[in-house]
Structure 1
């Protein structure tokens, strides 16, 4: 199969850290040269716009090369790519700051905006991109005096380095932990869980051999299978959910929640501590300085200046109101697992017990076990069903083109996305399985946006990377997903569709670009609904041996258990969101002790279960210290309200109603960031969003949780 040149795919076989470093450096030089050549003021408005478009074209090479460095540092991290990433990071950060403070470039945007007739005649996407760029200039310190601009640039550079260090420490702390286990420690573990630990054991042997920590004879003398518990999520959850040994669960819990803290004794390859404490307080202090330079009281205000939510109290009120709705259900959740624990002789329920006894309650109350239904979700069947669902909704087809594409790891698959008339829409990569050297979690990386430049005769179609850390294939058996992993796959594919289905050709507002951060989770959470509906599950399930879809009794049990523990899970998300908002709204910014005190204060207010005093969740909270969610973690719940309300239209009109699907595609997915998210939502729903559907979907709209088996999502 010949792949379209407009995809501009990467040859990963030749994409070495050294080659990428050269590409980034060359792209930076070209972009800097362009900025150097800009005169102080444009000749006229049309020339100003032409310069803006030319600058976008120049930046494509940097976006591409730096995007690849960042991507590979997340999915194939080793010494070489990490060193390349960190060496380039200050230069890239400095360039970004220069762009934001570059007066001649800013003058181009000003010239366009200051000519109302010209500006109002622009296409919607171009006008929106210019409006957002003006906002970005203001938030980059373009109006600051020279000495303050230099201070701003230094802050940006330090923040970039500190975030990278935070992320490195978490990855190293996660990868460095290995706990060998004797056979008698594995009571209660499932067959798939044991296989995961055995696979981790083989990897640990290889690591010992490579490092020279043990000689070959001693390694060969280790038992087979050799079981090792790790902090990679599939392995960690396998132990925490099924291991009967309470001491083992406690040890693993302690290791997980103290990663990169003062309790973590691991060091990096330079012998440096992995403790993130100093980085955390420095990040907060620098963010506060940055906000105040720009005229805000605190970083939370700066963050909200670009979001749907407008004020800190608006977000806090939303979260605390939702907590009030969730608390009665959460208390019932806790009572359920506490009673089960007591029946098994555990009268002092602890966090390392909750997942274990929750699984037992689920099995008792709903006759449902994640392990029982796992064989019904082979990854290939789930993927095929997912593609069938989006074809019915949006008229699109997915073609596996892996054999024609270069990939960065043998597990990676590449697909082309075609429209109903067989027009090529874009391409995407799936990198779904956990492995060493890969950052934890799941994400969509919008590597290449849809873009067209008529003057340069250049077109690129959208391409994205969708990444997970799912249970891999073991012992020659295909990967079998838990339903939670299925939901994660649907979530990330929702992000991918948002990126791929855009019809916008101005890159800055194409796909997910330019979308307010607290609305960007709408398409992803929205997509999860089809993995909770009987008709959707029928398409994504098929037993690994028989091919039979999930049987009615298991389907009914799965759907009945949808809101199981929903109250406690909601409070947990609210706890994280309030903590995030409060540490970023404090003035002065809290030190490490203040960070921990703020988290404990939120727990005292929200949580219904005590947390051990040595829990250092904050030290691993990458979303806010190394990702884009600083003073924005509330976005998950905010967008969940939008997604529940949006899906309620499908509940009213039919979940596979092609007309409704086209409406969602046309009003939300296709327009990307070319219109405000509130406008997009209201164009689809015909009104403002309400919380009713979220409460109903979460099971908070009735006094008693609904456990009646049903084939409908409620």
Structure 2
């Protein structure tokens, strides 16, 4: 039987991939990769064509096998797939360390740079410089004992991070709330109630079953009039995978957090860095921890006074002191009173098919591309769709899968993932293919999925990442699309794209009432746009809380004292937060971005890139948001370049100056 993960071309056969394919495919691809390296190192020639290009091609083949398996583990969880994924994650961590520590390969790459550096183009030179940097960060200069220790640490880190992620998923899926008294559901949107009834019926129960996923949690927090239900949901959500709450200790991440922080710190020190925060910045735009902390605290200086005013006003509106589980509920009430619009009331105007059509039209106007659905493509779930990207001449240049709605076994949140990276090496080409994954409330009956405007913004955000990935013109996989882009700049295209979801020129393109087909009424549109600045201070300081906590957690780690996770989180909250959190809150135990994702000592990237994105969009506002000249410059100078040049240089080329925080503050209604 052929292994679908070993297919060398075409799209993955997602419907045909099984858990038992994963380990053999990864082992075989590692074996092929190792054989390629032995072959190119055995040859006497040390040139870009003879060494770098085959190395890039081998890395691309390894990613082509692993990416679909990694993706399925996130969207189609099962015990068998999880086991295979975890085995391979450790295998790959060890193999990447083995490759990254090869002195012969490192010397070969350095020889290419020394001999041919003056003849290489900018992208080739950047690729080589990045590769050499990454070898140093993999411990190539360490003595043999240090190399062995590094590999052991990376294996353990890969395993610990996987277990952290799994605990969050398991804890989330383990809790649900059976409701038999309809009055407890007062205030909840009809779609949430219908979904809860269906969930109960599927399990042979009467009444309603509220599961603990993001759409339900958000709906209960914002709309449930029953305070006790809100508190119950809040406690279940904020104690997931912890030592307290309704599932206390069942999936506890406490020890794993300490292990992950300790392992990261030891890796950093082994490589000669003061802390993991210093190591993290070796591949980012920010120069040092002082710059990051100064940036975050400067934003806090601007936003916290506004947040304090907003929260005080909210408590006056509520008639007293607010608990954490009351905040979203009263904020939604105040938003409705002040602006006459609520997220739930907008759902009928944002059916997913219409939003997609309008979003694709925005991309066409900006970049001259067409987005077309393709049938007959193998997918992992019946609700998944595949779309092709066509250029101005009608040539298919890229594609993406869209997996829009929440379901059991699917990781929470929203993300864009790499399926197949762009490649053009030695006459062999591969078109970029992305995964766009969201967790919107699924449709009820025959109706399409209906989105809130917040959901629309999320979709635009992830599509912005996908455009960055798909519209690249760089031929080398390691610096094509989002690859090689500093992590604190990778959110620029996504947050830039969000701005279009807030424009009066765009919302008529993405809105049509699910029954009448009428676009969002002009009066409602005005109210929605007017609500954009609602509680921007509270929202900003919450993100600053996450960013400061993450960065200090890694910058200040002391092996003798341990992670001080709860203590440090409370310190940060006293510094910037306005919402008071109860003692049982265990936010950090489910902070997957930092403990199992790619944002360790890098969560500040969201705010850093938000400054870049607001400043970028201001250039469009100066001339028109669909100005062809500005859009072409943005495409050519930033999107298409991927990681092939220094991002600050690219930004300055586009904007004509260094980035400024003013456009972001003006957008949010904050005095500079």
* Same-fold status (TM-score > 0.5): yes
Structure 2 residues without counterparts, runs of 5 or longer: 1-6
Is the 2:40–2:50 Cα contact (8 Å) retained in structure 1?
no
Report the equivalent of 2:26: 24
Please list, as runs of the form range in 1=range in 2, the aligned pairs for 1:290-305 lying within 5 A after superposition: 290-305=267-282
Is the 1:509–1:673 Cα contact (8 Å) retained in structure 2?
yes
Deviation at 1:422, TM superposition (A): 0.8
2:382 corresponds to 1:383: no
Report the equivalent of 1:184: 183
Offset from partner CA, 1:167-196 (integer Å, 9 cap, x none): 000000011111101212111112122123
Deviation at 1:104, TM superposition (A): 1.4
Is the 2:56–2:476 Cα contact (8 Å) retained in structure 1?
no
Deviation at 1:36, TM superposition (A): 4.2
Cα distance in 1 between the residues matched to 2:560 and 2:462: 34
Is the 2:367–2:632 Cα contact (8 Å) retained in structure 1?
yes
Please list, as runs of the form range in 1=range in 2, the aligned pairs for 1:534-683 lying within 5 A after superposition: 534-589=504-559, 594-683=564-653
Please list, as runs of the form range in 1=range in 2, the aligned pairs for 1:72-111 lying within 5 A after superposition: 72-111=72-111
Offset from partner CA, 1:503-542 (integer Å, 9 cap, x none): 0011100000000000000000000011001001111111
2:231 corresponds to 1:262: no
Deviation at 1:147, TM superposition (A): 0.2
2:481 corresponds to 1:508: no
Cα distance in 1 between the residues matched to 2:61 and 2:630: 38
Is the 1:284–1:589 Cα contact (8 Å) retained in structure 2?
no
Change (3 A) 1:602 1:550: same
Describe the SS at the equivalent of 2:444. coil
**Bigger mean CA deviation after superposition, 120-129 or 506-515:** 120-129
Is the 1:583–1:589 Cα contact (8 Å) retained in structure 2?
no
Describe the SS at the equivalent of 2:429. strand
Report the equivalent of 1:195: 194
Describe the SS at the equivalent of 2:435. strand
2:438 corresponds to 1:468: yes
Cα distance in 2 between the residues matched to 1:33 and 1:241: 56
Report the equivalent of 2:36: 34
Is the 1:473–1:480 Cα contact (8 Å) retained in structure 2?
yes
Report the equivalent of 1:711: none
Report the equivalent of 1:250: 231
Please list, as runs of the form range in 1=range in 2, the aligned pairs for 1:148-227 lying within 5 A after superposition: 148-182=146-180, 183-203=182-202, 205=203, 219=204, 222-223=205-206, 226-227=207-208
2:118 corresponds to 1:120: yes
2:307 corresponds to 1:330: yes
Deviation at 1:39, TM superposition (A): 4.4
Cα distance in 2 between the residues matched to 1:593 and 1:515: 29
Cα distance in 1 between the residues matched to 2:509 and 2:275: 48
Describe the SS at the equivalent of 2:14. coil
2:270 corresponds to 1:287: no
Report the equivalent of 2:283: 306
Report the equivalent of 1:431: 403
Change (3 A) 1:639 1:593: closer
2:418 corresponds to 1:453: no
Describe the SS at the equivalent of 1:259. coil
2:371 corresponds to 1:398: yes
Deviation at 1:273, TM superposition (A): 3.6
Structure 1 residues without counterparts, runs of 5 or longer: 206-218, 703-714
Change (3 A) 1:181 1:281: same
Deviation at 1:45, TM superposition (A): 3.4
Offset from partner CA, 1:644-678 (integer Å, 9 cap, x none): 00000110000111111111111111110000111
Cα distance in 1 between the residues matched to 2:282 and 2:78: 37
Describe the SS at the equivalent of 2:187. coil
Offset from partner CA, 1:608-665 (integer Å, 9 cap, x none): 2211111100000001100110000000000000000000011000011111111111
Deviation at 1:266, TM superposition (A): 4.3
Deviation at 1:142, TM superposition (A): 0.2
Report the equivalent of 1:45: 46
**Residue of structure 1 aligned with 2:389, choices 417, 421, 443:** 417
Alignment RMSD: 1.6
Deviation at 1:315, TM superposition (A): 0.7
**Residue of structure 1 aligned with 2:214, choices 227, 233, 250:** 233
Cα distance in 2 between the residues matched to 1:416 and 1:66: 22
Deviation at 1:16, TM superposition (A): 1.1
**Bigger mean CA deviation after superposition, 188-197 or 386-395:** 188-197
Is the 1:128–1:675 Cα contact (8 Å) retained in structure 2?
yes
Is the 1:644–1:694 Cα contact (8 Å) retained in structure 2?
yes
Change (3 A) 1:236 1:101: same
Describe the SS at the equivalent of 1:291. helix
Describe the SS at the equivalent of 1:416. strand
2:138 corresponds to 1:140: yes
Alignment length, in residue pairs? 665
Change (3 A) 1:479 1:422: same
Cα distance in 1 between the residues matched to 2:28 and 2:348: 50
Report the equivalent of 2:56: 56
Deviation at 1:589, TM superposition (A): 4.3
Report the equivalent of 1:359: 332
Deviation at 1:592, TM superposition (A): 6.5
Change (3 A) 1:376 1:243: same
Describe the SS at the equivalent of 2:634. helix
Offset from partner CA, 1:140-167 (integer Å, 9 cap, x none): 1000000000000000000000000000
**Bigger mean CA deviation after superposition, 420-429 or 143-152:** 420-429
Report the equivalent of 1:320: 297
Cα distance in 2 between the residues matched to 1:590 and 1:304: 24
State the TM-score, normalizing by the size of structure 1.
0.91
Describe the SS at the equivalent of 1:305. helix
Cα distance in 2 between the residues matched to 1:531 and 1:493: 12
Cα distance in 1 between the residues matched to 2:591 and 2:310: 25
Cα distance in 2 between the residues matched to 1:660 and 1:56: 33
